Structure 1
Amino acid sequence: MSDFLSDADFEKYKNFIYDKSGIFFSNSNRTILESRLRERLRTTGHETVLDYFNLISRDQEEMRALLDSVTTNLTRFFRNAAHYDTFINYVIPDLVERKKASGDKVFKIWSAGCSSGEEPYTNAMVLSEYLPADFKIDILASDLSLKSLMKAQEGFYPASKINGIPDNYLKKYMDPVENGYIMKDSIKKLIKFDYHNLKFPSDSRNLDVVFCRNVLIYFDEAAQKNVVEGFWNSMRDHSYLFIGHSESLFGMNTKFEFIKTDWACIYGKNVK
């Protein structure tokens, strides 16, 4: 038992965080919660975990700050090349062909758990390259972290963060500025950044593709199922779901179909 966080307090915080977000803390990652709590106590000037618990129970803003602090916002441009090979060579051509046949020229994507924006900006650049000129790109990018969303909206990335962006993309879609690069307005305008807690349903409908990579690992089985069902409800017939390469829907009672492409494994809604 920790002197800082008793077993009873750990249970109280664990249940509170799960109830508010679906994020699950087990004993194995208890130390992460403890270190984030120490940080928030220092920042807010509270002396005990009980005082701080009283604060988050009544203060929505601080509750969000805590949830922000317990998620790890690791991301990069063109993360997991096999996913982008699948997106470019399999998903986009299939959807474009179907959309041309139906006369629907809007391509709708949700980047759920977008962190500081590298994923949705990558998607915007790829779609700008590979979609026919008369198609409209509509990207929703959401996260639990307001701090990350503000950074993403700005579209500035230090030189150390642009690794993985092909040179032709860099020249075409980003402008060099002091100490780094900033996304061109032509790419920024394709994306709407918005706060969203995946524990709750989304208003989005008729999505063609959902990217939710390395997010489900934060949830227990019940919360994962809830999130995946939420995606199903937001997606149109004949659409695709990308999850993290170490994540799987195997064993989950879900209607998504498993798809093995030449490059990576993804999931589909009513695609066969």
Structure 2
Amino acid sequence: MSDFLTDAEFEQFRKLIYDESGIHFSATNRSILESRIKEQLRANNLEHVQDYYIKVSKNKEELKEFLDSITTNLTRFFRNQAHFDALEKHVIPELIKIKKPLNDTRIKIWSAGCSTGEEPYTIAMLMKEVLDPPWKAEIVASDISLKSLMVGKEGFYTDAKIAGVPDNYLKKYFDRVEGGYRIHDDIKAMIRFDYHNLKNDSGLRGMDVVFCRNVLIYFDETAQKAVIERFWEAMASKSFLFIGHSESLFGMNTRFEFLKTEWSTLYRKYT
């Protein structure tokens, strides 16, 4: 199958993916898309690319499956530790200061593009460590990959996956089981895993912290701007946004303000 996709077919799939998810496939990562489509043809016992295109464009469940297959789910516990230091030492004290006079003891956090759950579980464990009663964290973890969400909900991770979890966290928040570790139910109870396509409104409102790290890189500028606007709508006044360390809102006309802390940079919604 050399020249597996014709240029017209590549454009067809690229447009479908962009229209449905905002994910942008450039010519440079065409080979990734081609390999994913090959896998799907085999899985569906189909010979012709057009048959598969018709199937995904007419069936919403097949389309979800396809979008799931093209996303990369690279993640790990405590990825970019500096962000979690800023969350613990700057963001949480600030939020407590803001919320205390309002008698609001809930801190609402959204992990957008949560993949297999390592990020929201890291946040949950950290919140368990730093929040004293009556303070509590409510975490929503969303992703476009149903397979990844199922892994997150299960809360089981192999030995290789828990690399980076500090020993004291491992002892306090995980049980050793055959083949790996299972996260404790009280940590799982802090998180609601939910399917969500960032191209759409999440319906969330009043979020105090949003993590969306290493997701914007998959979007072109127009789609990035739309996603950032939807975050703004979902977030409370005086809230905080974390994006990937290789991502930036510079040059993008947004209402967020850049914030440099002693530990890392992030963005702030003041109004």
Q: Could you say which TM-score interval applies, normalised by the shorter chain?
A: over 0.9
Identify the residue that residue 164 of structure 1 maps to in structure 2.
164
Identify the residue that residue 145 of structure 1 maps to in structure 2.
145
Structure-1 separation of matches of 2:172 and 2:131: 16
Identify the residue that residue 121 of structure 2 maps to in structure 1.
121
Identify the residue that residue 228 of structure 1 maps to in structure 2.
228
Letter aligned with residue 110 of structure 1: W
Identify the residue that residue 183 of structure 2 maps to in structure 1.
183
Identify the residue that residue 173 of structure 2 maps to in structure 1.
173
1:61 to partner: Cα distance: 1.3
The answer for unaligned runs of 5 or more in structure 2 is: none
Identify the residue that residue 193 of structure 1 maps to in structure 2.
193
8 Å contact kept, 1:96–1:131: no
Which TM-score applies when normalising by structure 2?
Answer: 0.98
Identify the residue that residue 18 of structure 2 maps to in structure 1.
18
RMSD: 0.9
1:179 to partner: Cα distance: 1.3
Letter aligned with residue 159 of structure 1: D
Structure-1 separation of matches of 2:107 and 2:132: 11
Which TM-score applies when normalising by structure 1?
Answer: 0.98
1:188 to partner: Cα distance: 0.4
8 Å contact kept, 2:217–2:247: yes
Letter aligned with residue 263 of structure 1: W
Structure-1 separation of matches of 2:124 and 2:138: 9
Structure-1 separation of matches of 2:192 and 2:240: 20
Structure-2 separation of matches of 1:223 and 1:48: 31
1:149 to partner: Cα distance: 0.3
Identify the residue that residue 59 of structure 1 maps to in structure 2.
59
Identify the residue that residue 251 of structure 1 maps to in structure 2.
251
Q: Which range is displaced more, 95-104 or 23-32? A: 95-104
The answer for unaligned runs of 5 or more in structure 1 is: none
1:57 to partner: Cα distance: 1.1
Letter aligned with residue 133 of structure 1: P
- 1:148-185 CA distance string (max 9 Å, x none): 00010000001111111111111111111111110100
1:18 to partner: Cα distance: 0.3
Letter aligned with residue 160 of structure 2: S
Identical aligned residues as a percent: 60
8 Å contact kept, 2:127–2:136: no
The total of aligned residue pairs comes to 270
Identify the residue that residue 219 of structure 1 maps to in structure 2.
219
Structure-1 separation of matches of 2:163 and 2:3: 43
Structure-2 separation of matches of 1:25 and 1:233: 27
- 1:224-270 CA distance string (max 9 Å, x none): 00000000000000000000000000100000000011111100000
- 1:100-127 CA distance string (max 9 Å, x none): 1221101100000000000000000001
8 Å contact kept, 1:115–1:143: yes
1:65 to partner: Cα distance: 1.1
Structure-1 separation of matches of 2:123 and 2:81: 12
Letter aligned with residue 152 of structure 1: G
Letter aligned with residue 124 of structure 2: A
Letter aligned with residue 19 of structure 1: D
Letter aligned with residue 78 of structure 2: F
